[in-house]
Structure 1
Amino acid sequence: MADGNPTPPWWLKPMNKVFMTVMKLGVFGNSNGGGPVILTVPGRKTGKPRPTPITPMVVDGTRYVVAGFPGADWERNARAAETATLTTGKRRETVRMVELSADDARPLLRQFPTLVPTGVSFMKRSGLVTGGTPDEFEALAGRCAVFRFDPVTGAGRS
């Protein structure tokens, strides 16, 4: 494992805004649940919608997301929120985010380098891992949050 106290690069927030604009145009649209999406959760203090781009991974038909930085704002907002919204192009889905225990997260983190290769380079640059091996990612269990997306009954998709 790399740096004990990683911080997001200075360019992350401006790049996320550009990326979300491109995603809203449907450039990265993907109907099978893979690929980047916009996660919107209410701010834990303001209640205002807080969007951020994420790349979920799909394992056995279930979607998960790994927080790229321990203590990221979206991670803390997700813990405080009852529901969140996933948006791909014009398609929106309301979900409940369930944080996994470290033990439950370990096998998913091992799969992360294969399922989300773009996330590996990001986490290398952030200092969380050095080589990007499954062992390094598994060692992040309990440090980097892993959330499961559960559909919200009756909320549907639009």
Structure 2
Amino acid sequence: MANPRPPWWLKPMNKVLMAATRIGIIKDGPMVLTVTGRKSGQPRSTPITPFEVDGRRYVVGGFPGADWVRNAQANPEAVLSQGKTRERVRMVELSAEEARPLLRQFPVLVPTGVSFMKNAGLVTGPHPDEFEALAGRCSVFRFDTV
């Protein structure tokens, strides 16, 4: 299957979601990830929903080759924001083998991500086997505090 393209409405919806997160309307769930643009060198922000396993935080790139993923691969220093709270982090991309068990847990830990990935054509539902099969295709990053 070819890599899906994000829907036309995703960027405008992301801007609304980031604004709501920044001003504190949304307190739990999504955060704003800011990474340095690999071409422009300018800060680039996107909403993400991190999840925690064994005390470590992770995020899954919902679209293979998404801009924020490629930016994080080029420069892993990033900032996570939620409301007025900002945290500097280093994003560590996991190997496919390291990502498999985390992807299996993703449908339970991030149920909102299931519908997103289903609409993208990456999975048919909240089946751990389907999510595990995305290892090596959808990037998984661990956040290390800087």
Q: Distance in 1 between matches of 2:112 and 2:6?
A: 16
Question: 1:82–1:131: structure 2 CA closer, same or farther, 3 Å change rule?
Answer: closer
The alignment's TM-score, normalised by the length of structure 2, stands at 0.97
Report the number of matched residues: 146
Q: State the secondary structure of the residue aligned to 1:58.
A: strand
- How many angstroms does 1:148 deviate by? 0.1
**Equivalent residue for 1:36, pick from 30, 34, 42:** 30
- How many angstroms does 1:6 deviate by? 1.1
Q: 1:46 — aligned with what? A: 40
- One-letter identity of the residue aligned with 1:75: V
Q: Distance in 2 between matches of 1:100 and 1:72?
A: 16
Structure 1, unpaired ranges of 5+: 153-158
**Equivalent residue for 2:14, pick from 5, 9, 16:** 16
The alignment's TM-score, normalised by the length of structure 1, stands at 0.90
Give the percent of matched residue pairs that are identical in Structure 1 and Structure 2: 71
- How many angstroms does 1:7 deviate by? 1.1
Q: Distance in 1 between matches of 2:106 and 2:125?
A: 13
CA contact (8 A) 2:3 2:63 kept: no
Structure 2, unpaired ranges of 5+: none
Q: Distance in 1 between matches of 2:99 and 2:25?
A: 30
Q: Distance in 2 between matches of 1:126 and 1:103?
A: 23
- One-letter identity of the residue aligned with 1:150: D
Q: How well do the aligned residues superpose, as a CA RMSD in angstroms?
A: 0.9
CA contact (8 A) 1:106 1:141 kept: yes
CA contact (8 A) 2:91 2:141 kept: yes
- One-letter identity of the residue aligned with 2:16: V
Q: Distance in 2 between matches of 1:36 and 1:118?
A: 10
Over residues 122-145 of structure 1, what are the superposed CA-to-partner deviations in whole Å (9 max), with x where a residue is unaligned?
A: 000011111220000000000000
